[in-house]
Amino acid sequence: MSDQKSLSAQAWIELLLLAAIWGGIFLASRVALDEVPVFTLVAHRVFWAALILWGVVLILRMPIPRAPSVWGAFLIMGLLNNIIPFTLLNWAQLYIETGLTSIFNATTAIFGVLVAALLLADERLTKRKAIGVSLGFLGVATAIGLSSLTQLNPRSLGQLAAVAATLSYASNGLCCTNRLRGFIS
């Protein structure tokens, strides 16, 4: 296996499309939050996505798992990768700027490295990773403002909620990967 050093034009287009979709959800959510409560918005987002995904499963005649352990992993995955972070991020958007919320969401990779290093023997925290994580946390601390951590007001709680959402995202991959290995190819 060779190491890939660059992205193809199609990969760049797909990456930009994905970024537009992911970034666009923050704006769409913020607009919706002017009209509907956080939990209603999360319920709609999850319901319509589930409906579409079940449609794909049925159209493609994909196998539906029968093992309770797989459904348990799906439940945990749904909580850690959807319900918890969507709720925290949407709630955060009521108190902090949407752009700031999306910036905090980008810290998922930082937490992913830390969670993996803490819980997986083969993902140790190398010097290079530690420097990257430290720089990432420095950026987050700068965005939050260290003085806001000494206050408990809606804005600082919103910022912490956005960061907590990314920790939920980061925990999801680690939690469910081993449980679903062999089922998802």
Degrees, nearest 5: CA angle 74-78-80? 115
With contact defined as beta carbons under 8 Å apart, do 129 and 113 qualify?
yes
Residue 2's pLDDT band, with cuts at 50, 70 and 90, is low
Say if residue 125's pLDDT is above 70: yes
Whether 51 is in a domain gets the answer yes
Angle formed by the axes of helices 68-78 and 154-180, to 10°?
160
Whether 175 is in a domain gets the answer yes
Task: Provide the β-strand partners of residue 184.
Answer: 181
Query: pLDDT for 129-138, tens place per residue?
Result: 889 888 888 8
Say if residue 61's pLDDT is above 80: yes
Exposure of 18 in the CB half-sphere (CA atoms within 13 A): 6
Say if residue 145's pLDDT is above 80: no
DSSP assignment of the chain equals -PPP-S--HHHHHHHHHHHHHHHHHHHHHHHHHTTS-HHHHHHHHHHHHHHHHHHHHHHTTPPPP--HHHHHHHHHHHIIIIIHHHHHHHHHHTTS-HHHHHHHHTTHHHHHHHHHHHH-TTS---HHHHHHHHHHHHHHHHHH-GGGGG--SHHHHHHHHHHHHHHHHHHHHHHHHHHHBTTB-
Total domains present in the chain? 1
Compare 151 and 168 and report the one with higher pLDDT. Answer: 168
What pLDDT does residue 106 have? Answer: 82
Angle formed by the axes of helices 98-105 and 127-144, to 10°?
170
Say if residue 178's pLDDT is above 70: no
Whether 4 is in a domain gets the answer no
pTM higher than 0.85 for the full model?
A: no
Sequence-distant (≥ 6) Cβ neighbours of residue 154 within 8 angstroms: 94, 95
Whether 2 is in a domain gets the answer no
Of the listed ranges 17-21, 44-48, 118-122, 177-181, the one predicted with least confidence: 177-181
Domain span holding position 14: 9-180
CA-to-CA distance for 160 and 154, rounded, in angstroms?
10
Whether 84 is in a domain gets the answer yes
Whether 172 is in a domain gets the answer yes
Say if residue 140's pLDDT is above 70: yes
Of the listed ranges 32-36, 37-41, 47-51, 178-182, the one predicted with least confidence: 178-182
Whether 185 is in a domain gets the answer no
